[in-house]
Amino acid sequence: MNPPPELTWVEVDLAAIRNNVRELMRIAGRPLMAVVKANGYGHGAVAVAQAALQAGASWVGVARCSEGLELRRAGITAPILVLGATPSAEAEAAISSQLSLALYDRGLGEAYARQAAALGRRVSVHIKVDTGMGRLGILPQETASFGKWALEVPELFIEGVFTHFARADESDPGPTLAQIARFREALEALQASGVQPRWTHAANSAAMLRIPEARFDLCRAGIALYGLSPSREVPLPSSFRPALAWKACLASSKDLPAGWGVSYGGEYVTAGIETIGAIPVGYADGWRRSAPNQILMDGQRLEVIGRVCMDYCLVRLPAGGAIGDEVVLIGRQGDERILAEDVALRWGTINYEVVTGIAARVPRVYLGADSLGS
Ligand SMILES: *Cc1c(COP(=O)(O)O)cnc(C)c1O
């Protein structure tokens, strides 16, 4: 992959994605739904979905209808579940493109059914049960009557039932086991009302890795697919590989005299003659302004100095730093490595937010697209 394509870019190793999919399926012993919402957690939804399907995933999960449509436009024919809300205005497009929809409300279900009828089709739905997340989903005690109602709407094809865990990434499995118990009760109530969906699913990455009872028929993996740990309490086994690296090329290198302000606000002032480099990555790229930041250059860890700008951040360069030199914001350089988890720690957030926050204007470059071998 040379020459470097842009001022800044993200490299995504699709061989790492395929490796992680195989590891997840080996560990859980279940079919896998590759969750590629939010542009594949910033990695690129289409490329990640294709790699995951090649490696054996059977479903693709997205948060929104528009994300599912993007995958269909790219030619992905695998089953796709919209895990989140689909407003009635999007139902026609969703049904025409054979997206399966989460169902948790009768009014929305009726709107989906009307659209399906108008198209002369049925709509595949997965009933979502709220077992302790407090977000979308019917309550366990409503499941029986909801199931009976849904069964009587001919355009609704009840393909699945699912729930989502709020605390599977914590060290104590107790809250997740309690959610599983409520989910089982809801499943029994559904069955008693005559609903027998093909797919029952609950586990996110954290749950599928460490709570065997959470695995049911299908596991929905997001973060682990990308080689990122669900949390510090639930680290990934060492067989997983992070797929994403964020790189840039130095846009400027120059000597500044003593007493020269660097960046907005002049918060950093040179102590003597200093070589200052401009890295073409700023907060508009998703590189946070409010935080301490580090990068790798020449195999060394450098502190970002002064304020991060919209399009740039600045560093004090070691001798010899020149325009075009490669800078690593996330990833490996020489023996040094900055993980998305390290960035998250500095920013006081989680790795999920770091990678999903990388802006659309940063091009994604794919490595390992070859489907043969690894
Ligand atoms: C995002 C999401 C997942 C994947 O979660 P990870 O923690 O990234 O594995 C699974 N299920 C639902 C409903 C989600 O919204």
The pLDDT tens digits for 284-343 are 999 999 878 999 999 899 999 999 999 999 999 988 899 999 999 999 999 999 999 999
Reference 227, options 10, 19, 372, 366; nearest CA is 19
Q: Are 364 and 9 in contact (CB under 8 A)?
A: yes
What average pLDDT score do residues 14-26 get?
A: 98
What is the spatial distance between Cα 83 and Cα 274, in angstroms, rounded to a whole number?
A: 52
Q: Give all domains of the chain, ordered by start, each with its CATH number.
A: 14-225 (3.20.20.10), 244-338 (2.40.37.10)
Catalytic residue, candidates 112, 148, 247, 264: 264
Residue of 327, 314, 301 lying closest to 268 (CA atoms) = 314
Q: Is 28 in the pocket of ligand 1 (CB under 6 A)?
A: no
- The whole-number pLDDT of residue 282 equals 98
- Angle 143-151/106-119 helices, nearest 10 degrees? 20
- Average of per-residue pLDDT across 239-247: 98
pLDDT digits (tens, 9 = 90+) for 102-155: 999 999 999 999 999 999 999 999 999 999 999 999 999 999 999 999 999 999
Q: How buried is residue 83: exposed, middle or buried, by Cβ count under 10 Å (0-12/13-18/19+)?
A: buried
Cα–Cα distance measured from residue 373 to residue 310, given in angstroms and rounded to the nearest whole number: 41
Beta-sheet pairing, 274-279 with 336-338: unpaired
pLDDT of residue 369: 85
- Per DSSP, what are the bridge partners of residue 279? 313
Question: Per-residue pLDDT tens for 210-231?
Answer: 999 999 999 999 999 999 999 9
Q: Which residue from 33, 81, 130, 164 has its CB within 8 A of the most atoms of ligand 1, so it is best to mutate?
A: 164
The pLDDT score that the predictor gives to residue 371 is: 54
> Is 264 considered catalytic here?
yes
Residue 35 C-alpha to ligand 1 middle, in angstroms? Answer: 7
Can you give the pLDDT at residue 372?
53
Please report the pLDDT score of residue 1 as a whole number.
47
Confidence tier at 4 by pLDDT (50, 70, 90): low
Dihedral angle of Cα 287, 291, 295, 301, to the nearest 10 degrees? -170
Is 37 labeled as catalytic in the residue annotation? yes
Pick from 35, 81, 104, 233 the residue to mutate for probing ligand 1's pocket: most ligand atoms within 8 Å of its CB.
35
**Mean pLDDT value of segment 13-40:** 98
> Does residue 89 carry a pLDDT above 60?
yes
